[in-house]
Amino acid sequence: MSKMKIIYSLSDDTWNNEELEAIHKVIESCRFTMGPKTKEFEDKFAEYFGSKYAVMVNSGSSANLIAIASLIYSGRLNKGDEVIVPAVSWSTTYYPLFQHGLKLKFIDINLETLNLDIVEVEKAITDKTKAIFVVNLLGNPNDFNKIKSICDKYNLLLIEDNCEALGAKYNNKFTGTFGDIGTFSTFYSHHICTMEGGVAITDDEDLYHYMLSLRAHGWTRDLPEDCKLYQKSDNEFYESWNFILPGYNLRPLEIEAAIGIKQIEKIDEIIKTRRINASYFKKVFGNRKNIKIQKEIGESSWFGFSLILTNELEGKRNLILKELMNNGIEVRPIVTGNFTRNQVIRYFDYEISGELENADYIHENGFFIGNHSVDIEEKIDYLYTILYKFIS
């Protein structure tokens, strides 16, 4: 009997009967849209990450949207302001900036860490620069000592797209908690899974209240009685449909929140296993002549593993990817590669500061494979065997 072929997928399933039971309890309750389970999840999420406030929404993309919108409507940012962003990230890091009339200033990434190049940040700052939107790419923290120092020096807001880095730490502090607002994703392929879902966290009460209103139509219903944003009346009928902000409908489902409550209990074990897998991955691929892997800053939560082809392998990515896919190994670009090379950029108000040499390099020579919440040593060995058999 032949040995079963190994399938190395991008992600794995972190659910068991606990999540299924939580789903059934919500179904039995007949309360499906945002309600008490959502609030319970938010409280537990904020407590776990040491944040004062958390707002659950229907995706990490939506978390970015309410984060930027809250900064606009609170007057912290204004249309036309410049926001520094790395040239490599997911599309919905950038879209809310464009959608709210902000100017994006793209800078290159560091080829070692894959996060924004600290050296290039200060070069990009002008009198119009008001914020830095950092991305902890593939779970890897930024150098927040240096970034916070720059933000303090130039009086800049700091926003964190932490959607790929749940559970990562820098100086023993969770990423997503360094900025004015941090965003998370709980989509299926991420560290914890609520099917669809996202969270924005903050220690700023005013921004929290803005996000509560923006999440659900811009109405006042979900605001607390002592809210500074708006003085609620005691007329419950009136306040049920009273609108003060041009908001959205980004509400999560109670099923997603109920799943999330169970998933929070598993974070420690999930991150521990991902880091063990990463240690083995670094042992296998860390000193290869023609392949560069991501350099860890702080304690990465290792969303996945990047491989960048160098030297004799430069320009041979398509041949290698075809071989990997033919052997059951799922591959993807390193996020979007150089995002400015996507056609959607023609709609943006943007500027490129300096050259995007490193972003271009991974655009042409980089790819990404998955990490899981269970032991994948066998799959990493399989990847190595297929890859180097083909290369040789």
Strand-strand pairing, 291-292 and 304-309: antiparallel
Q: Name beta bridge partners: 309.
A: 291
- Cα(121)–Cα(136) distance, rounded to whole angstroms? 15
Q: What are phi and psi of 249, to 5 degrees?
A: -115, 95
- Cα(212)–Cα(250) distance, rounded to whole angstroms? 10
- Cα(140)–Cα(201) distance, rounded to whole angstroms? 19
- Cα first-last separation, the chain: 29
Q: Which two tokens stand for residue 295?
A: 């350099």
- Cα(94)–Cα(110) distance, rounded to whole angstroms? 19
Q: Which two tokens stand for residue 371?
A: 């990490």
User: Contact, 25 vs 254, CB < 8 A?
Assistant: no
Q: Which of 197, 111, 102, 243 is nearest to 159 (CA)?
A: 102
User: H-helix or E-strand containing 174?
Assistant: strand 173-174
- Cα(37)–Cα(206) distance, rounded to whole angstroms? 23
149: helix, strand or coil: helix
Residue with tokens 């389970």: 37
190 is catalytic: yes
Catalytic one among 190, 191, 209, 217?
190
Left (φ > 0), alpha (ψ -120 to 50) or beta: where does 354 sit? left
User: Contact, 86 vs 137, CB < 8 A?
Assistant: yes
Residue with tokens 């240690």: 279
Q: Which of 77, 81, 93, 191 is nearest to 135 (CA)?
A: 93
Which residues belong to the active site?
190
